[in-house]
Amino acid sequence: MTETTPEKVAWWHLHRRLYNWVIHWADTRYGVLALILLAITEPICVPIPADVLVIGLCFGKPKQSLKYGLLCSFFSVVGGTIAFSLGLLIGPERVAHFFDTLSFGPLQLGEKATKALELYQRYDFWAIAISALTPVPYMLFSWLGGMAKVSIIKFIGISLVFRTMRFGTEGLLFYLFGEKARRLIEKYFNAATVIVILLLAVLVFIIKKAGHLFH
């Protein structure tokens, strides 16, 4: 049994069975095609992160790991853009109306949903960047980005940068460190993403302050 061969689980553990089904493709000749399809569908409707297949493929062929990371990055943004476009078709008005139908008593869910989308618009850079880089569901924020009607160009640009940082880094680690990369990713990935986000916050703060000095 290879490193990527999943263990058998009980039939009622549906999410784990789906996870195992996804990762088993790393041991087949259709691994790259499966990676592309998973990268596209994950931001739309698939609850399994594409990382599992990236890591499985990289583990089998570390010298091609950069290709796997970049392929996943690009097609993940394609999928995110599709989800964004579907969210745009739904629009904030339908979202508010839907939640209004669920409201009862003093609890006005439609109004709260509208405020949530307004918050997304206000902090769109951080919403997109954090969901694209960290374990926060990129799928959810892709749909919400369209519903909030943020700039699609901005969404694509930020997604490309931070999805590449995520999957490209995984590929780079396997390219440089081979089998040791898996332990590095499992041990330090979450901590590293928090550090990156904090550094970005400091950078944005510095840029804003510098901008005020020249006005």
Report the alpha-carbon distance of residue 111 to residue 108 in Å, rounded: 6
Per the listing, tokens 């993403």 go with 193
pLDDT at 1: 38
Q: Among 88, 51, 85, 41, which Cα is nearest to 168's?
A: 51
Contact (CB, 8 A) for 43 and 83: yes
Please classify residue 206 by burial: count the beta carbons closer than 10 Å to its beta carbon, then call 0-12 exposed, 13-18 middle and 19+ buried: exposed
- Give strand pairing partners of 107: 104
Within the chain, which residues score under 70 in pLDDT?
Answer: 1-19, 21, 103-107, 186, 188-190, 192-194, 196, 199-200, 203-215
Q: Return all residues near 56 (Cβ < 8 A) that are at least 6 apart.
A: 3, 4, 23, 25, 26, 27, 31
pLDDT at 72: 97
Beta-strand runs (E) in the chain? none
pLDDT at 80: 97
Q: Is the pTM of this model over 0.85?
A: no
Report the alpha-carbon distance of residue 202 to residue 204 in Å, rounded: 6
